[in-house]
Structure 1
Amino acid sequence: MKRGWMKRRSRPRGSWRREKTIKFGIIDYGAGNLGNVHRALNGLGVENSVVDSAIEIKDAQALILPGVGSFAAGMEGLEKRDLVEPLCSELKKGKHLLGICLGMQLLFESSEEAEGIAGLELLPGKSKLFPVETVAKVPHMGWNDLKFEKNTGLISGLENFYFYFVHSYYLPISSVIKQHRLAVSRYRGIEFVSAVKKDNITALQPHPEKSGSIGLKFLRNFVEEVKNESYSRR
């Protein structure tokens, strides 16, 4: 079903006075959570639209890959809309992307949730199911902190690093190359990768759009990072 109310590009009040704008495309591949991300960006005064075609992905100056649901359904949604090739192509050209929750896991090679189904393979690694015998409760749902391993402008001005999580699968520390790890978290004794960054690709396991003022500040920092790099190229 088309989301007509979100399909039109949103230009928040007051944005006509801006001298510089970046068009952010929120990728619709049937994995939900588009509305929350759309409203969060609107609240920050960021020009954005929901995109679901190759030409729209190419037209956007930066991309967000949100998502709630299964790994298999996520990849099926991208493939059914013929978005895998154009998405990977734009990222390899240097276009910025923020992956969120399922959108982060899809960037990797595969998942235990869907054996035999390849992810986007932009990052090496495989997600695993939290062992219920260890954590007692799956999914991991609620507030948890991120321990950032690198100093980055993405966390500038954050009062704390508590974000909201909802996930059953996680990326083990050993599965992710150290230079790609941005932050780690712990759930009932299991340490996992909660944020990654490789060049123009940034991704979070938690939901910044559901994480109150801290999450919105992180999104603002991501937007500013994209703007600064984009304008430095001009």
Structure 2
Amino acid sequence: MIRDLVSKPDFGSREMQTVASLSRWFQLECLAHTMAVRLGPTVRKGPFAGMRLIPVQLGSVLTPKILGTYESEIAHLFADLGRFRRVVDVGSAEGYYAVGCPFAHPHIRTLAYDTSEAAQRRCRQAAELNGVADRVEQREFCTPEEMAGLADGETLFVVDIDGGEIDLLCALPAERLARAEMIVEAHKHGATTTEEAIIPHFAATHDVTIYRQKVKEVDEPMLAQSPSFTRWLVTWEGRMNEVWLHLKPKA
């Protein structure tokens, strides 16, 4: 098959699209290694500037985190957490938010939920690396009832569970989460997206702001002379058309 792809390439075929995708990932991994060596695996800017990153990421990409462009569409929501005492991160992976929030805000404690043992291990490593292990509590599975019990008006929920957000957030009447401020990453759900279920479910209890993924600009001097494709690639987060919902309790 490889010989046919090289000798008679069909650039619209699924196979060639797969090759192109693998090529981007390979280039990105090479760039991530180079940047981690030259700049250090540390967040350069944004609300978590100075946070040290572990080299192996789960379901996300290292370079945007180093540059501080990772999910920059919602970064401002984490800049001032003064009105919260706790962050509940459901789908914490390697701990970018679960560790970043207490790292940037010394008064914050985090509950980090993830069913993956690898994620739990890396999140724990990241917490220890950044000196916040005593303020990051790890748990496995978050049920709707457990989440409702944590919604005390002083807790910020961060939810990214690859489509499972409907089962978590919409299983109970919206009134049970009426005091919960939530940042939710939406995903595809069958022929539609989870935002189409979540927004109407909370229409009576929350004001919803939608943030959509944008093209990122990078101002890192190391990349000043790089081709435009390279400058785009280092900010690419490995997905397209991402959507986040900020659900804020109605006054």
TM-score (norm 1): 0.30
Q: Between Structure 1 and Structure 2, whose CA radius of gyration is higher?
A: 2
Q: Return the structure number with greater strand share.
A: 1
TM-score (norm 2): 0.28
